[in-house]
A and B are shown apart, each in its own frame.
Chain A
Amino acid sequence: MVDPNFIASLLASSIRAGTPLLYATLGEIITERSGVLNLGLEGIMITGAFTGFAISLATGNPWLGVLCGGIAGMLLALVHAFFSITLKANQSITGLMLVLLGLGITGFLGRNYIGEVAYYLDLIKIPVLSDLPYLGEVLFSHDPLAYLAVILAALLWFILFKTRYGLEIIAAGEKPEAADSMGVDVDRVRYISTLFGGFLVGIGGAYLSLAYAKLWTEGMTAGRGWISLALVIFSGWMPQRAIFGAYLFGGLDVLSFKLQAIGVGISYHFMKMLPYVVTILVLLVSVIRKRAAFGAPTALGTPYVRGKKE
């Protein structure tokens, strides 16, 4: 006796809840594919969320807010890139530093923005298609950033696996010395990937404040950056799998709410834990099956120094 309405609204909500995760995950996939581990997603996301909200409030233009949210994310990623690529510092530490930095700065600067109502992104109901029963609600009644995220995932898949530049990124992350000897500027590739990754993570944050919650509060990312890190592993560093993963992880919360709303008791503690449990399972499976397709880039987290064998 599963009600199609229930399923339709569950799927639609999952897409909404999964979209900020998808942006952050795609950003981190691109970053990690080039060999840079950026653990600072939580800090970058919250910075994107705040910047987007503040700019939208100041200018009345939510799109400018989204753009600036991305740029703010990019600037934080630049800090990470400088330390981890140029200075060859420990990538985990600078990443974690970004978390504290982002949460701290936005908490401080964001004080006067709490309680404001900014201009936010409206839904785009695709004509005709959005009137389809069930499918219309699930697929064709979202805000523009939600559509864009899927297009972006496809585009990133294409760039990574079908273009020469994608090969360079993957080479920089797998065998930087080989890439170097082939004339690829490893540091440059890593810089670009990290900055672009930070841009996407920042947009994921801006999505939270401008399209999803439509308000700004301190610490509003509430762990979504960490979930996205788990999602990168879950999707095996594949942009196309990230779509499914993000909607699944986003949908877990929504599912727990929906089940409760129809009177099915389910512990939210359990649901909160589930994304991490699933990630561990995926890791286990990948180790057991030894499938390269599920593995991390070989040089992930290791700074590249020419002529030095790691």
Chain B
Amino acid sequence: MKGKFLILFALAVVSAGLLAGCASEEEEQIKAAFVYVSPIGDAGWTYSHDLGRQYIEKVYGVKTAYAENVAEGGDDERVIRQFAEQGYDVIFTTSFGFMDATITVAKDFPDTIFEHCSGYKTAENVGTYFGRMYQARYLSGIVAGAMTKTNKIGYVAAVPIPEVIRGINAFALGVKKVNPDAKIYVVWTGTWYDPAKEKDAAISLIDEGCDVIAQHQDSPAAQQAAEERGVYSIGYHSDMSKFAPNAHLTAAIWNWSVIYSYIIEQVIQRTWKSEQIWWGIDKGVVGLAQFNDAVPEDVRKMVEEEKQKYLNGEVPEQYPFVGPIYDQQGKLVKAEGKVMTDEELLSMSFFVDNVVGEIPASSE
């Protein structure tokens, strides 16, 4: 806790120094700011971004600052503007809801570089970046499909937006690949971070006979529920095995440092251009956490083979979203051999045929 005080104190001193106009002394050092939507926490979305921040600080000697728990559509514009005014060279805004605020502030600071995570609006000085998490979800689905005995797999889902739906479908297609009889039961919590509720949701699924539990939220509560009830689980965001050493089979994880390094190198070399980055497992942005000892060799091999398909270009980046894909009503969504486009992936609003559950009505 003392460390926290020191950091705050240091930040105060630094910002005071900036206000006093002493910034010119360190002109050459690149400064990067991060705007986070939630507290950094221990395992979730913002935590994974912060690992990336720490990485570029260590490896590139970039000076970084961050603001956490910034409300979307509330404080976001003010916080982003403040970082821009303080002369940060590049500002990363790491939540979809920061999109408009990022674009607005970017107009007023044409010399500052802005990078928005997971959005679709760009500008001369605004780039976007994201990872193809569904690829890792697909691989983790293979593990779940191979490990289930009841052929019922539970999925504790957060909020019905395309990203979450895409993750569920990719996971379900992974399950289907190895176990066509298994079904994925989805329970929506409507939360990103309410451990008690997420645990209840997981327990509800376990009570109905699900013996592998996957999740999308930031808290490891669903993993804990699986551990307590003696079933398996698949983590998300980062390796969550510490919360469920026996249950946790693997996790679909982020490795943002890959993208942050790429962007920072360009900023340092003054070659940065606005881009829309959407990288996958071949670049290492997404991947799987270490396997639990319970995962047998043949399953690991199967996962590795599928992973290799991405690495050697045997399958398109959109894989596993390659036809034939059927929705829950049995309607053919994508014909044999056809590949879903990125646009279709980004606006996904249906479940594939081995998912049980409904997508709550959205604002459409």
Contacts and interface: CB of A to CB of B under 8 A. Distances in A.
Interface of A: 5-6, 9, 13, 16-17, 20, 107-109, 111-112, 114-115, 117, 208, 212-215, 217-220, 222, 253-254, 257-258, 260-263, 265, 267-269, 272
Nearest to A262: B208
A257 B361 contact: no
Interface in B175-226: 185-191, 193-197, 199-201, 203-205, 207-208, 210, 219-221, 224
Contact of A222 (B41, B194, B220): B194
Interface residues of B, number: 40
9 contacts: A6-B207, A109-B1, A115-B42, A115-B43, A212-B196, A213-B195, A219-B193, A258-B208, A265-B360
B110 interface: no
Given A111-B4, A257-B205, A261-B205, 15 more contacts: A5-B207, A9-B204, A114-B39, A117-B242, A213-B221, A222-B193, A253-B200, A257-B189, A257-B197, A260-B187, A260-B201, A260-B357, A261-B154, A263-B185, A267-B361
B356 A263 contact: yes
A226 to B, nearest CB: 13
A102 to B, nearest CB: 15
Contacts of A257: 187, 189, 197, 200-201, 204-205
Nearest to A107: B39
B195 A268 contact: no
Contacts of A5: 207
CB-CB nearest 10 A-B residue pairs: A115-B42, A265-B358, A268-B190, A257-B204, A213-B195, A260-B187, A222-B194, A257-B201, A9-B207, A114-B42
Nearest to A110: B39
Given A253-B200, A268-B188, A114 B1 contact: no
A38 to B, nearest CB: 23
Contacts of B278: none
B185 A261 contact: yes
B202 to A, nearest CB: 9
Contacts of A269: 190, 360
Contact of A260 (B39, B204, B361): B204
A261 B193 CA distance: 20
B43 to A, nearest CB: 7
Contact of B194 (A13, A214, A220, A258): A220
Interface of A, secondary structure class, is: helix
Contacts of B55: none
Interface string B227-242: 0000000000000001
Interface string B1-31: 1001000000000000000000000000000
A74 B126 CA distance: 50
B243 interface: yes
A290 B201 CA distance: 39
Contact of B186 (A16, A20, A220, A260): A260
Contacts of A213: 195-196, 199, 219, 221, 224
A222 B191 contact: yes
Nearest to A215: B195
Contacts of A214: 224
B203 A13 contact: yes
B188 A17 contact: no
Given A215-B195, A222-B197, A258 B207 contact: yes
Contacts of B200: 13, 16-17, 253-254, 257
B204 A220 contact: no
A114 B41 contact: yes
A234 B168 CA distance: 38
Given A17-B200, A114-B41, A260-B204, A215 B219 contact: yes
Nearest to A254: B200
Nearest to B160: A268
A258 B188 CA distance: 10
Contacts of B43: 115
B39 A220 contact: no
